[in-house]
């Protein structure tokens, strides 16, 4: 043993090339270690210990790696659980929104199916009343209807009841005037033939013309000044009327004479021309029966009787 301790030799055991038990003889011969059996046995025992230490070290390293993997796995599980909760919350919120939206759509569809294109469409709704009829409020619609209703009832045959209620007919008439709806459009909305829609419309036009024309009056100068808009009072205090001749397109007549009288050089189309006067407040104060589109605005104004209503000092605006 002392001889071995005194000799400084390298057994060739490294991390890169672990020492193996079956190479003991080669190692002994390579380093010229004594052939003494005792020495050989010591070297052999040492080699076994080295192998055991290496195996134990690898085992420890595996334990550490497994522990790290377990820790990482637990962390991933917690993240997955958190993501699952978040996803569940999103799904619940989406389901709630979808359910609420579906319920809202069902209500809208139900309302659309039960609400026909008639007076109930604007019931107690000033915004819809103004959009569909041009009247500023539903109460004004009711007032005007009550005024005209007795005259319409006189024209209804008891043997043949109306296809719509009288109020629905009045609403349809105002809607056509306000929105310019075609008969076919109204037919699709109401399931009533175009011919019946046309009859209803013209019937109401006739009544409205006869009963409402008396509401068009020429204003008194003093009362008109009291209601003038602020801008008019500042700059145009003596304006009593704003006039214009507007044109309405018509179909080309089969009669050559009528076609000639109604052809407008300005519009390049057959038209009817109407002279209208409004007060600065916007109310209609004068309207004349229609003329052919060929007649000049100046001629219509001179022959309409409008100039007879003008007093000295009055100012009339025109386009």
pLDDT single digits (tens) 32-87: 555 567 666 776 667 767 777 777 677 666 766 777 777 877 888 788 887 877 78
DSSP-assigned beta bridge partners for residue 272:
248, 292
Report the pLDDT value the prediction gives residue 116, as an integer from 0 to 100: 76
Beta-strand pair 315-318/239-249: parallel
* Candidate ranges 101-115, 172-186, 208-222; pick with highest mean pLDDT: 172-186
Task: List 264's β-bridge partners, or say none.
Answer: 269
What's the chain's average pLDDT? 80
Residues 6+ apart with CB under 8 A from 131: 178
**Which residues make beta-bridge pairs with 244?**
276
Tens of pLDDT, residue by residue over 87-123, are: 877 877 777 776 776 666 665 555 545 467 888 999 9
Q: How many residues does the chain have?
A: 319
Q: Range with the lowest mean pLDDT among 77-91, 220-234, 257-271?
A: 77-91
**Residue 46: what are its φ and ψ, rounded to 5°?**
-65, -40
Most confident of the ranges 7-16, 59-68, 127-136, 190-199? 127-136
CA dihedral 27, 31, 32, 34 (to 10 degrees): -70
CA distance 75 to 237: 85
Q: Are 281 and 203 in contact (CB under 8 A)?
A: no
Among positive and negative, which fits the CA dihedral 246, 144, 129, 122?
negative
Q: What is the average per-residue pLDDT within 208-232?
A: 87
pLDDT tens per residue, range 148-175: 999 988 887 665 556 678 999 999 999 9
**CA 106 to each of CA 63, 80, 99, 115, 261: distance values in angstroms, whole numbers, following the listed order:** 63, 38, 10, 14, 56
Q: State yes or no: pLDDT of 211 exceeds 60.
A: yes
Q: DSSP H helical segments within the chain, as ranges?
A: 2-6, 24-30, 37-114, 126-133, 138-153, 166-179, 183-190, 194-212, 221-226, 230-235, 256-262, 297-303
pLDDT of residue 25 exceeding 80, the answer is no
């Amino acid at each position: 043993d002392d001889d071995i301790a005194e000799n400084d030799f390298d057994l060739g055991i490294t991390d890169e090339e672990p020492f193996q038990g079956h190479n003991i003889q080669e190692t002994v011969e390579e380093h010229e270690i004594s052939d003494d059996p005792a020495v050989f046995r010591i070297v052999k025992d040492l080699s076994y210990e080295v192998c055991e230490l290496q195996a134990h070290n690898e085992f420890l390293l595996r334990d550490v790696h497994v522990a790290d993997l377990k820790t990482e796995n637990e962390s991933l599980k917690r993240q997955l659980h958190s993501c699952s909760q978040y996803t569940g919350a999103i799904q619940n919120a989406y389901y709630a929104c979808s359910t609420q939206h579906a319920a809202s759509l069902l209500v809208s569809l139900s309302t659309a199916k039960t609400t026909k294109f008639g007076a109930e469409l604007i019931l107690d709704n000033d915004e819809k009343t103004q959009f569909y009829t041009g009247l500023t409020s539903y109460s004004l619609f009711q007032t005007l209807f009550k005024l005209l209703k007795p005259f319409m009832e006189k024209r209804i045959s008891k043997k043949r009841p109306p296809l719509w209620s009288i109020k629905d007919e009045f609403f349809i008439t105002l809607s056509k005037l306000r929105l310019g709806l075609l008969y076919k459009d109204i037919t699709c909305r109401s399931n009533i033939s175009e011919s019946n829609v046309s009859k209803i419309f013209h019937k109401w036009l006739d009544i409205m013309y006869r009963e409402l024309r008396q509401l068009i009056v020429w204003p008194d100068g003093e009362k008109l000044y009291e209601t003038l808009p602020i801008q008019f009072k500042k700059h145009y205090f003596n304006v009593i009327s704003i006039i214009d001749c507007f044109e309405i397109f018509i179909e080309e007549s089969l009669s050559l004479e009528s076609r000639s009288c109604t052809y407008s050089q300005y519009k390049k189309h057959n038209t009817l021309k109407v002279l209208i006067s409004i007060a600065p407040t916007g109310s209609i104060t004068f309207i004349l029966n229609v003329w052919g589109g060929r007649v000049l605005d100046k001629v219509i104004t001179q022959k309409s009787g409008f100039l007879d209503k003008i007093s000295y000092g009055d100012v009339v605006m025109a386009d």
